Structure 1
Amino acid sequence: MNIDMKKNNSICMRLFYYGYGLALIFTLSSCTKDYIDPSRALNEEALSSSQALTDISIGLQRTYSYLRTSNIYNKVTANGFVTNELLLRNEGNIPELQLSTGGSTVDGTNTVLAGLWTSSNKIIYDANLVIQNARKLADKNRASGIIAYTTVLKALSLGDLAMNWEQVPATVGRNASFVDRMEGYRMAISSVDSALLFTETDSISNAFLQDIPAASIDIKNTLYALKARYSLYIGDYEEALSAASQVDLKKVSVFAYDNVSPNPIYTFATSTNNVFQPKDEHLGLPEALYPDPNDQRVLFYIENANPAPPAVRIKGFWFTNESPIPVYLPGEMLLIKAEAYARTSRLDLALIELNKVITKRPNDDVYGLGAAMPGLTGPYSEEELLTLIYKHRCIELFISGLKLEDMRRFNRPQTEMKRNFFPYPFVERDNNANTPADPAF
């Protein structure tokens, strides 16, 4: 995968101040506050210019995917610890220690959760402004690109809130009310549907595609992938099947990194060995679900039997500072179809899709991720098949930030997790009387 380094560095440097400023703003904000810069630059100037709107949307990608304050780092960290994917390396990292311990130790002071909450709301707020103003542009093809690209970041952020909290803000603003998290997924799906309609009416301009980071997000495939993911989560299995079938599994869609803007998991965990590493060679799964010793995905994701502690170390999409992190995986789309078929009693079709994942060889996958195992023959009951799908989701999507939602959906025992939902950050509770009560677990 070749990344246009010169182009990406130019974009990163142009947006460095913008991205850094956003980081400072959202660490001091909650969804009850105005997210716009007090200078009102976004309102009065940036939101009327097509190039500025493009740059802001790229800045949202930076907010989502770079540094320790990003959604990428925070959702992988929070999810990985409470689902037993990750092992804490240094108890001096207090937020990570809370998550590693779990239970009531995790509270509203946790900065990993506060970062995920505030960053998500910040992205949603700014994305709404960008989308609203892009609709006014005379160049409808560029507008289509801006809207679709920005919607990817908005939908991901809505999904991150819905995956981790019982309720999510209905709007982003002062004294926001809350809705059930399933409504958060529906809001994400609605945003995706709207963006797809724009792209169907006015195709995305090549000029816009030249302006965004090279070798990065494949916009239209990603929109369909997110619609498939969130449709599955709300139990709309036919929509999940339809959307997953629209995704071209040979296309790459990633958050791209380089020496200027390095991979955040590599920077703060892999390279330092000071925050976390994979829990074990079984990827943190219970004994009944251990990966097969011949499953080639395990050694894609981890280095095992290292001579110096810890024996198990991160590999996969977090192995170098330039390792790209996929927005979704081809295997996820196949597993979405397998689960949707299984939950609608089409077990033969479910097994076919599951076997596509199990038999997939590394050379047949755009990321080189493949189990290369013999296919399953069955027969299986629906319950048995769903358990197998869960197992292979845990392996295929290791450290993706998606496992906690899977554990709920597949009714895994609480003994396998350290939290079911997260408490609301104090940065929200202290400023919004509508903040719901914290979940018991």
Structure 2
Amino acid sequence: MKNYINRFYLLKISAVVFVLLAFSSCKKEYKDPNAALSDEVLSSQRGLTGVAVGLQRLYIVGAVASRAGVYYNSVTANGFVTNEIRLLNSGNIPELQLSTGGNSVDGTNTILGNLWAASNKIVFDADNVINNAANLPDKGYASGLIAYASIFKAMAIGNMSQYWEKVPSGIGQNVSFITRVEGFTKAIAVIDNALAVVAATPISSSFSPNVPSGIDITNTLYAIKARYALFKGDYPLALAAANSVDLTKRSFFNFDSNTLNPLYEIITSTNNVYQPTNANLGLTGSNIPDAADKRVPFYTTGTGATMAGFGVATATPIPVYLPGEIMLIKAEVYARQAVPDPVNALIELNKVVTKQPAADPFGVGAGLPPEIGPLAPANILPLIYKHRCIELYLSGLKLEDMRRFGQPNTDRKRNFFPYPFVERDNNPNTPADPAF
């Protein structure tokens, strides 16, 4: 792990040093880049802000291109193995491997390698921000840095925990591994620390103008806490976190002509990589969307052959989470908790089923008649799964859902992913690859 972290870090150093030199050029101060890294980047408010802003870029775009970031590789790997998307060009070898599935997916796959490397790089950089921000004199600004960096650290750990049976316990040479459930627990601990910091010292109003607009920090921390608590089966924690999310607020990644929406840049604008499987979003049987479901024309165009939704244009924002996800988390928790509450489970499910596009902050709405109860949890859970597949289409969450809802292995092309050779070749503690 250490070798590829260092390679990614050199790219980040160059970018940050360039910014620092640009800011200080009027003073004609020329400093050793290594000194700038230690003395300015990790000990100054400006330097740590630069590293924090870089976390979002690493998550969305990667170090050098959109195909290197966590987001594209997450939704792509997930999309192929869960049949959400179809391959257009078999010359795209990494995508072809995932589209084929099974043993065709191995440690050479660059989509998985980029997802793994970028996630670990984010954890490395986020640790630098979190650990050093505490030393800043402006505690309100430091609170913002810690909370913002924690979002990306938690999502990086969470993404790895969704796709691999075991994940690194930390960053370093010959690092050990922990189970994926322990990975979710670790991500939640990162979030809890951030929430405690913000509760003790509210984020200064001077912080938000210095980071990309769009992310609602507190709501995002609660939303991803609810997500990972659900994934690890801690239902009381998931419900408490979900109830803390203000569903009227938006939290999203912003794009412009300099930083393009990766779904548009790679998929929509080229029409040469992949597209939706069909107008049913790849779903079959009882999971096929209702004919009147307004989410299908939101996510696809025409006969479902091309992508719309959050990849429709260069500057289309991508949500960090959808309000519908939080509603469905509540519904699932009520259905699965120790003493099931099918009445409230159905209420939360119907909030998604009946939601009109105009009532959703991102325009995602089914606009269907409500499901009629009473329904037992065994009848509600399949409906929750169906609506998660549609509401959260191409969000990178479906593989986790398929396992949690007990969908048969034959309905997906992988269950967990093999470990990238970039890890195996550098770390003797890398676990054995899963059989499927």
TM-score (norm 2): 0.91
Instruction: Provide, for residues 162-215 of structure 1, a one-character-per-residue CA deviation record: whole Å limited to 9, x for no partner.
Output: 00000000011100100001111111100000000111111101111111112x
Post-superposition offset of 1:40: 6.5
Distance in 2, matches of 1:362 and 1:413, equals 32
CA distance in 1, matches of 2:349, 2:227: 16
CA distance 1:354–1:402, change in 2 (3 Å): same
Distance in 2, Cα, partners of 1:327 & 1:43? 32
Q: What's the counterpart of residue 80 of structure 1?
A: 79
How big is the shift at 1:401?
Answer: 0.4
C-alpha distance after superposition, 1:401-426 (max 9, x if no partner): 01000001001001110000000000
Amino acid at match of 1:204: I
Does the 8 Å contact 2:82/2:412 carry over to 1? yes
Structure 2 Cα separation of the partners of residues 147 and 362 of structure 1: 34
Q: Report the equivalent of 1:7.
A: none
Call closer, same or farther: CA 1:89–1:348 in 2, change over 3 Å.
same
2-structure distance, mates of 1:137, 1:40: 19
1:291 is matched with 289
Q: Is the 8 A contact 1:82 1:418 kept in 2?
A: yes
| Range moving further from structure 2, 98-107 or 247-256 | 247-256
Q: Contact (CA 8 Å) 1:339, 1:350: kept in 2 or not? A: yes
In 2, the alpha carbon distance for the partners of 1:21 and 1:196 equals: 31
CA distance in 2, matches of 1:297, 1:371: 5
Report whether the alignment pairs 1:229 with 2:230: no
- Conserved 8 A contact 1:89-1:274: yes
Asked whether the equivalents of residues 19 and 59 of structure 1 are also in contact (C-alpha less than 8 Å), the reply is no
Q: 8 Å contact 1:74–1:115 — kept in the other structure?
A: yes
Is this contact kept in 1: 2:90–2:96, CA < 8 A? yes
In structure 1, what is the equivalent of residue 162 of structure 2? 163
Equivalents in 2 of 1:432, 1:383: separation in Å? 44
Q: Of 30, 52, 56, which residue of structure 1 is paired with 2:51?
A: 56
- Say if 2:418 is the partner of 1:423: yes
Specify whether residues 92 and 22 from structure 1 end up closer, same or farther in structure 2 by C-alpha distance, changes over 3 A only.
farther
Q: Which consecutive segments of 4 or more residues in structure 1 shift more than 4 A?
A: none
Equivalent position of 2:308 in the other structure: 315
Q: 1:228 corresponds to which letter in structure 2? A: A
Query: Aligned partners of 2:363, 2:426: CA distance in 1, in Å?
Result: 46
User: Structure 1 residues 20 and 68 mapped into 2: Cα distance closer, same or farther (>3 Å)?
Assistant: farther
1:342 paired residue among 335, 345, 362:
335
Partner of 1:181: 180
1:184-199 pair list within 5 angstroms: 184-199=183-198
The sequence identity of aligned pairs, in percent, is 55
Match of 1:390 in 2: 385
Aligned residue-pair number: 407
1:401-420 matched pairs, under 5 angstroms: 401-420=396-415
Q: Which of 348, 352, 365 is the equivalent residue of 1:353?
A: 348
Q: Provide the C-alpha distance between the structure 1 equivalents of 2:39 and 2:78, rounded to a whole number of angstroms.
A: 39
How far, CA to CA, are the matches of 1:435 and 1:19 in structure 2?
A: 22
C-alpha contact 1:297 1:369 (8 A) present in aligned 2: yes
SS at match of 1:68: helix
C-alpha deviation, 1:52, in angstroms: 1.1
Q: In the alignment, is residue 273 of structure 1 matched against residue 268 of structure 2?
A: no
> What is the alpha-carbon root mean square deviation over aligned residues?
1.7
Using the alignment, how far apart are the partners of 1:279 and 1:401 within structure 2? 15
**Following TM superposition, by how much is the alpha carbon of 1:51 offset from its aligned partner in structure 2, in angstroms?**
1.3
Residue 211, structure 1, aligned to residue 201, structure 2: no
Cα offsets for 1:215-271 (capped at 9, x unmatched): x11100000001000000111111111111111111110111111000011101111
Find 1:375's aligned residue among 364, 370, 377. Answer: 370
Contact 2:188 2:225 survives alignment (8 Å): yes
- Residues 15-94 of structure 1 correspond to what in structure 2 (within 5 A)? 21-22=11-12, 39=34, 41-66=36-61, 67-94=66-93
Instruction: Give me the whole-angstrom Cα distance separating, in 1, the residues matched to 2:57 and 2:121.
Output: 12
> Residue 78 of structure 2 contacts residue 397 of structure 2 at CA under 8 Å; is this kept in 1?
yes
Which string of whole-angstrom CA distances, capped at 9 and with x for unpartnered residues, describes residues 48-90 of structure 1?
0011111110011001012111111100100000000000000
Give, as a single letter, the amino acid of the residue that structure 2 aligns with 1:21: L
Matched residues in 1 for 2:288 and 2:361: separation? Answer: 25
Residue 153 in 1 paired to residue 152 in 2?
yes
Extract unaligned runs of 5+ from structure 2.
Answer: 1-7, 16-32
CA 1:24/1:382 → structure 2, altered by over 3 Å: closer, same or farther?
Answer: farther
Amino acid across the alignment from 2:38 = N
Distance 1:20 1:278 in 2: 37
The residue that corresponds to 1:125 in the other structure is 124
Q: CA deviation at 1:380?
A: 2.1
Name the CA shift for 1:410/1:23 in 2 (closer, same or farther; >3 Å). farther
User: Kindly tell me: are residues 371 and 190 of structure 1, through their superposed partners in 2, closer, same or farther at Cα, counting changes over 3 Å?
Assistant: same
Q: State the shift of 1:338 in Å.
A: 0.2
d(CA) in 2 for partners of 1:410, 1:315: 27
Conservation of the 8 A alpha-carbon contact between 2:13 and 2:37? no
What is the correspondence of 1:126-141 to structure 2 with a 5 Å cutoff?
Answer: 126-141=125-140
Match in the other structure for 2:29:
none
- What CA distance in whole angstroms lies between the structure 1 residues aligned with 2:363 and 2:232? 30
2: distance between equivalents of 1:325 and 1:299?
A: 17
Residues 23/78 of structure 1: CA separation in 2 closer, same or farther (3 Å cut): farther
